[in-house]
Amino acid sequence: MAVIQKVGVIGAGQMGSGIAHVAALAGYHVVLNDVSSERIKGGIATVHGNMARQVGKKLITEADRNGALSRIGAAETIADLSDCDLVIETATEKEDVKRKILGELSSVLKPDAIIGTNTSSISITRLAASTDRPERFIGIHFMNPVPLMELVEIIRGIATDDPTFEVTKQFVSKLGKTIAVAEDFPAFIVNRILLPMINEAIYTLYEGVGSVEAIDTAMKLGAHHPMGPLELADFIGLDTCLSVMQVLHEGLADSKYRPCPLLVKYVEAGWLGRKAQRGFYDYRGEKPVPTR
């Protein structure tokens, strides 16, 4: 069975930098790749800042932080990932983008390297087919924010072999995460349950049943959710929410997964949530203000 020592992460955004963070803390050598050196530097800076916060909260020591940071480097090109034992793709939740990256990656990796995808909804079997090693391809779905969330979903495609599954489980366990094994159906477990709930909250707003504040307050105080569903949608990104709902709707052909027209309208407006400073809340002032 292969031993994972060096991990590549494609995508230096919120998810990619988070995965690099936890992998480096667990003792792995990590290289981060993105479309530009500026984005890679930004991802590494995010790791620096998040680890500093962990030191401040006494979750890790300064020695832990320094050791982890010494194990993170940049991979300026896909070719720079060639000596990795595991590469995890965390690109935007668009199948054509992921397939293009995975095709390029396959041509540079050593034959026994494992490819993982952090997709939150897309078929692992379909993505595996765009590589030269479907038997060594697997879904490794981290939750956001990666350093704080305890769960990782592991999803086998139809061709994923047993050694790949076992090595992946060992890797995730070493990160200190709890594993949930999901079958390769649209959106897996967490998002199959969570995103329709968020979509229903948006329908509740769309139909005038309650305001943004009323809906979020109702679920925080009435169901003890730590964050209201509309606040959570803004945190996830409304474009990502829409992508997952589209995958569910197309993949399961059930009208109950139809994306709410209001969600579509917000995405068309570019109001994607926190990352765009506007979504169901406006984040441009001192305090978030509902936009409806």
User: Which of the residues are catalytic?
Assistant: 120, 141, 153, 191
Q: Are 212 and 291 in contact (CB under 8 A)?
A: yes
Q: Which helix (H) or strand (E) holds 222?
A: helix 212-222
Alpha carbon distance 140, 8 (integer Å): 13
Nearest Cα to 55, choosing from 44, 43, 67? 67
Query: Strands 86-89, 72-74: parallel, antiparallel or unpaired by DSSP?
Result: unpaired
End-to-end CA, the chain? 55
CA distances from 225 to 18, 220, 234 (A): 23, 5, 15
Alpha carbon distance 191, 105 (integer Å): 27
Length of the chain: 292
CA distances from 83 to 110, 171, 183, 218 (A): 7, 17, 30, 51
Q: What is the DSSP string of 149-168?
A: --EEEEEE-TT--HHHHHHH
How many angstroms from the chain centroid is the CA of residue 236? Answer: 9
